């Protein structure tokens, strides 16, 4: 096995270039792979590798700030996993060069510096306190303005999805155990990753890190100019890990690779071809792929994030925390959802939200509404484009040698699974058409 050059410095983490992963009979025997640690306590704090920038998250949690967005080696480059947030000039497109002034990464800028101290105070007050968050730098007003307003358009659907899960499983924790399966050991995780990358033809292209320091299931980043995927050991479950890989690699990474070959790969190209934003298509598609082949493909996470954001826009932190108790009993989990919804705020006693996370359910429902007319392989091949632009762009696209996710090869099965998602989540065609008319 050949580790990534920086692997020796990644103490406590498994890290390797995909395609050069630990073999059961190789230089790192399976017996040396420790079992996954228990789920981190709610008060823990993640650590992110130096010289890196976070590009996407799979999972609902984020904990604390600290550290700069980049170090000596990392810089953001255009990636399909990046939410559609306007990036500073000098980082757009992220090709070569690096002379422009770098601005703080948005996800870092939005993490309160004092989140752990405020969490302690909140719990000591028995939840009757509204945290007062502090930030390393003022969050840009343009960003706050863009995500200040929450939508209630799909609240009824979000609540119905949440209730469907609770009616079947009683609690979310029971749902996780019943449908996610057992936690996997490091060797088992490497095996799943290796097999998946072989299916996608991505062997040797992406660095993978296994860590117990993330609350989210996964984080996609660029580190030392290489695509890097960090996976949370505590969230790597038997039946969910491949779905996470379909989300991060099969959707974000593959669409990003295809995007680099298109005439709209730069911001100027997007303007020239009058492209719509990549989101909500990007995250909606990735979220559908996360649950695509589950026996019970409930859209719990996207639904609860959507609902939480909408309620945050009307409630204080403490009132939001109390409201979520009807759906989530674990106080630590509720805290994380509330922090995520209230990030960017200083005084959380005031109503207000950061609405970016509504993009998941929004994108899911739009894609399901139009799934019979969307050319999904073409949507992947054209790169970071909206489903609304596909038909118009196909005559301009560079399609030779475009990568198509392996799970789209059997398109009949793929479409049946989308139908199954609609049924499982108690959606219906008439409702979607009324919500999202042509």
pLDDT of residue 16: 56
Q: Which range among 37-51, 241-255, 277-291, 391-405 shows the weakest confidence by mean pLDDT? A: 37-51
Which residues are CB-neighbours of 253 under 8 A, at least 6 positions away?
Answer: 79, 80, 81, 202, 206, 220, 227
Q: Which residues, at least 6 apart from 156, have a Cβ–Cβ distance to it below 8 Å? A: none
Residue 60 has pLDDT above 50, yes or no: no
Cα(431)–Cα(376) distance, rounded to whole angstroms?
22
For the segment 410-417, the average pLDDT, to the nearest whole number, is 98
| Model pLDDT, residue 220 | 75
End-to-end CA separation in angstroms for the chain: 53
Mean pLDDT of 96-110: 49
Query: Which residues, listed in sequence order, are joined to residue 17 by a DSSP beta bridge?
Result: 207
Of 221, 251, 232, 229, whose CA–CA distance to 180 is shortest? 232
pLDDT at 218: 82
DSSP character at residue 183: B
Cis previous bond, 280, omega within 30: yes
pLDDT over 80 (residue 433): yes
Reference 68, options 87, 84, 54; nearest CA is: 54
Check if the beta carbon of residue 61 is closer than 8 Å to that of residue 336: yes
Above pLDDT 90, what percent of the chain? 61
Band of residue 402 on the pLDDT scale cut at 50, 70, 90: very high
Q: Which of 121-135, 171-185, 351-365, 395-409 has the lowest mean pLDDT?
A: 171-185
Q: Which are the catalytic amino acids?
A: 248
Instruction: Identify the CA nearest to 80 among candidates 261, 271, 258, 264.
Output: 258
DSSP 311-357: HHTTS-HHHHHHHHTTT---HHHHHHHHHHHHTT-SBTTS----GGG
Average pLDDT over residues 170-190: 90
On whether the CB atoms of residues 17 and 202 are closer than 8 A, the answer is no
Nearest to 305 by CA among 358, 245, 370, 255: 358
pLDDT band for position 421 (cuts 50, 70, 90): very high
Question: Greater confidence, 239 or 382?
Answer: 382
Highest mean pLDDT among 23-32, 55-64, 215-224, 285-294: 285-294
Tokens matching residue 2: 């050949």
The reported pLDDT for the residue numbered 236 is: 87
* Integer Cα distance of 109 and 58 in angstroms: 19
User: Residue 95's pLDDT is what?
Assistant: 33
In whole angstroms, give the CA distance from residue 41 to residue 116.
12
Higher pLDDT, 81 or 172: 172
Structure token pair of residue 264: 């709209």
Q: Which pLDDT score is estimated for 214?
A: 59
| Sheet of 14-17, strand order | 14-17, 207-211, 226-232, 218-223, 52-58
Residue 70 near residue 53, CB atoms below 8 Å:
yes
Cα 375 to the chain's mean position, in Å? 23
Q: What share of the chain is helix, strand, coil (3-state, %, to 5)?
A: 45, 10, 50
Mean pLDDT across the stretch 343-368? 96
Q: Between 63 and 260, whose confidence is greater?
A: 260
Report CA 289 to chain centroid distance, whole Å.
Answer: 12
Cα 54 from Cα 109, distance rounded (Å)? 12
pLDDT over threshold 90, residue 124: yes
* Residue 395, number of CB atoms within 10 A of its CB: 6
How far is Cα 55 from Cα 71, in angstroms, rounded to an integer? 15
Q: What is the DSSP letter of 111?
A: S
Task: Name residue, tokens 């295809």.
Answer: 258
Tokens (6 digits) for 129: 């306190």
143-147, 164-168, 375-379, 406-410: least confidently modelled range: 143-147
Q: Cα separations (Å) of 121 from 46, 126, 407?
A: 20, 9, 47
Helix (H) / strand (E) element for 220: namely: strand 218-223
Q: How far apart are CA 308 and CA 355, in angstroms?
A: 9
| The pLDDT value given to residue 58 | 54
């Amino acid at each position: 096995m050949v580790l990534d050059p920086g692997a020796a410095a990644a103490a406590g983490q498994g890290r390797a270039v995909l395609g050069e992963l630990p073999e059961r009979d190789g230089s790192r025997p399976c017996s040396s792979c420790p079992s996954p640690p228990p789920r981190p306590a709610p008060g823990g704090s993640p650590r992110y590798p130096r010289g890196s920038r976070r590009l996407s998250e799979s999972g609902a949690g984020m904990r604390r700030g600290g550290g700069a967005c980049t170090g000596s080696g990392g810089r953001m480059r255009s990636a399909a996993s990046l939410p559609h947030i306007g990036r500073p000039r000098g980082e757009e497109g992220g090709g070569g060069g690096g002379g422009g002034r770098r601005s703080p990464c948005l996800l870092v800028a939005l993490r309160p510096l004092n989140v752990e101290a405020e969490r302690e105070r909140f719990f000591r007050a028995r939840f009757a306190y509204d945290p007062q968050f502090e930030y390393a730098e003022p969050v840009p007003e343009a960003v706050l303005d863009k995500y200040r307003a929450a939508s209630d358009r799909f609240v009824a659907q979000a609540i119905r999805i949440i209730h469907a899960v609770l009616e079947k499983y009683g609690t979310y924790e029971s749902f996780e155990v019943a449908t996610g399966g057992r936690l996997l050991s490091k060797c088992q995780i490497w095996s799943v990753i290796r097999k998946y990358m072989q299916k996608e033809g991505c062997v040797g292209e992406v660095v993978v890190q296994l860590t117990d320091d993330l609350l989210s299931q996964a984080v996609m980043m660029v580190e030392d100019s290489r695509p890097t995927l960090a996976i949370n050991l505590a969230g790597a479950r038997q039946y969910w890990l491949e779905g996470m890989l379909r989300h991060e690699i099969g959707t974000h990474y593959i669409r990003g690779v295809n995007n680099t070959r298109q005439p709209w790969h730069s911001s100027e190209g997007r303007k020239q071809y009058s492209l719509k934003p990549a989101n909500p298509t990007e995250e909606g598609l990735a979220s559908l792929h996360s649950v695509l082949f589950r026996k019970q493909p409930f859209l719990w996470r996207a639904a609860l994030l959507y609902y939480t954001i909408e309620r945050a826009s009307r409630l204080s932190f403490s009132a939001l925390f109390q409201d979520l108790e009807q759906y989530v009993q674990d106080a630590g989990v509720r805290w994380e959802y509330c922090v995520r919804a209230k990030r960017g705020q200083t005084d959380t006693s005031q109503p207000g939200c950061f609405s970016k996370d509504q993009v998941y359910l929004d994108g899911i429902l739009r894609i399901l509404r139009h799934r019979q007319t969307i050319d999904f392989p073409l949507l992947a091949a054209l790169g970071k484009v909206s489903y609304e632009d596909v038909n118009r762009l196909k005559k301009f696209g560079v399609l030779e040698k475009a990568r198509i996710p392996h799970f789209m090869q059997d398109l009949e099965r793929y479409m049946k699974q989308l139908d199954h998602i609609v049924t499982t989540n108690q959606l219906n065609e008439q409702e979607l058409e009324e919500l999202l008319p042509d």
